[in-house]
Chains A and B, each alone.
Chain A
Amino acid sequence: MNVLIRNTGDQPIYQQIYMQIKSAILSGELKEGDPLPSIRALAKDLRISVITTKRAYDELEKNGFIRTIPAKGCYVARPNTEMLREERLQQLEAHILAALELAPSCGLGAENIIDMIRMFDKELL
């Protein structure tokens, strides 16, 4: 797993960690039961504060991505299918919205986009 911290970004560091671990879990790079580094180990390796790291882990745990076993450590939680679906649905909507925003500049309407989707769908099959 890669975690890259940008100091220039407008995103707080705990949020950067949260997003990157979350996407590693969603993409399947991290699987259920995989151990995560301890908060203090990650803080040391990333050279950031312990509380910043803890906050990212707390968010991850609150949203059901990881679970903490006291005195053992943090593990990737059983994927919550409902939430995963929700998450992906949001991504899908974002892509469709982006397509619809681009469409007028090519002189296309929503109908044309739907046609294109059907065409690609056939090709994929």
Chain B
Amino acid sequence: MKNAIEVRNLTKSFPGFTLNDLTFTLPEGAILGLIGENGAGKSTTIKLLLHALEADNGSAKVLGCDVKDPAYSAVKNRIGVVLDEAYFPEVLTARQVGKVLRHAYSDWQDADYEAYLNRFSLPDDKMFRDYSRGMKMKLAIAAALSHKPQLLILDEATAGLDPLVRDEIVDLFYEFTRDPSHSILISSHIISDLEKLCDYVAFLHKGNLLFCEEKDALLDRYCVVHTDEAALRALPNSAIKGIRKNPYGSEILLYAEDVPASLTAERPTLENLILLLSKGDAAK
């Protein structure tokens, strides 16, 4: 199977922040969710993948092309990108945006763009600055999908949108991956958006990639138990992968095989897993 994204030992340092030795792959046809708190390095990763930033070390290949290769500029014709804001010039109308992008992308599809505008009921003669945030993001997504992309890269594209709009947008992602040659990299700090959508989950924490693996395998590996102080003390310290305490008991993350028979274990949700893992890190 081909890989849509291949990242090896990618490193980038800024004053006060380092994205450290990032290695992951996104197989073709899959959706990878990049999770992490604000400032964890998600946007830096995406900028490196778009070659808007130059890595200090390591390599990144997108759709089979090294991002440092001068040919990568042309490969971007097959990548649809949506950032946390739409970033279109304020005075442009949706129709003008379409005309500009028609000349920018080699495979621009007027009909597709038109169809998305209709589907989202976006007025095509209204200035971009007069759109609501939801409309702006829908326009950005319509633009990203209208040049026959094989890979979608989304950086916090659903942040700050109401649940109804998010739902409409997530629908588009499912439609997009109906084609097995289409892949998505989506970063978000809203984990519930990614819980069902993603095939793979990568968790960035303070510039380090804590894991990147198949979501189901990940959720199968861990268990959550709710228990009291006594039972907690009985557990070996090395078994505890994450913990959240309150005066009345604690919530502990364990590997499924480490759960003692005396305790009832629950399957974690992705959100709970991530929270407990990052708390475990804080406890160390």
Spot the interface stretch: B14-22, B75-83, B196-204. B196-204
Asked whether A10 is an interface residue with its Cβ less than 8 Å from the other chain, the reply is yes
Asked whether B170 is an interface residue with its Cβ less than 8 Å from the other chain, the reply is yes
Per the bound structure, the CA–CA distance linking A44 and B177 in Å amounts to 8
State whether A40 and B214 are in contact (beta carbons under 8 Å apart), knowing that A12-B219, A12-B220 are contacts in the complex.
Answer: no
Asked whether A90 is an interface residue with its Cβ less than 8 Å from the other chain, the reply is no
Contact with A along B192-226 (1 / 0, CB 8 A): 00001111100000000000001110011000000
Asked whether A117 is an interface residue with its Cβ less than 8 Å from the other chain, the reply is no
On chain B, the residues within 8 Å of A52 by CB distance are 199, 215-216
Asked whether B119 is an interface residue with its Cβ less than 8 Å from the other chain, the reply is no
List residues of A whose CB falls within 8 A of some B CB.
Answer: 7, 10-14, 40-41, 43-44, 47-52, 55
* B contact residues, range: 20 to 34
Expressed in whole angstroms, the minimum distance between the Cβ of B165 and any Cβ of chain A is 16
Q: Which of B210-255 contact A (CB under 8 A)?
A: 214-216, 219-220
List residues of B whose CB falls within 8 A of some A CB.
Answer: 29-31, 170-171, 174-175, 177-180, 196-200, 214-216, 219-220, 266-267
Looking at B31, B216, B220, B266, which has the most chain A CB atoms within 10 Å of its CB? Answer: B216
Say whether B266 contacts A10, CB under 8 Å. yes
Say whether B266 contacts A50, CB under 8 Å. no
Say whether A55 contacts B216, CB under 8 Å. yes
Expressed in whole angstroms, the minimum distance between the Cβ of B33 and any Cβ of chain A is 9
Identity of the chain A residue whose Cβ is nearest the Cβ of B199 in the assembled complex: A51
Among the listed A10, A11, A49, A55, which residue makes an inter-chain contact with B31, where contact means beta carbons less than 8 Å apart?
Answer: A49
Say whether B266 contacts A14, CB under 8 Å. no
Say whether A50 contacts B30, CB under 8 Å. yes
Identity of the chain A residue whose Cβ is nearest the Cβ of B196 in the assembled complex: A48
Among the listed B170, B214, B216, B220, which residue makes an inter-chain contact with A47, where contact means beta carbons less than 8 Å apart?
Answer: B170
In the A-B complex, the 6 residue pairs with the closest CB atoms: A51-B199, A44-B174, A49-B199, A48-B196, A40-B178, A10-B267
On chain A, the residues within 8 Å of B198 by CB distance are 49
On chain B, the residues within 8 Å of A49 by CB distance are 31, 196-199, 215-216
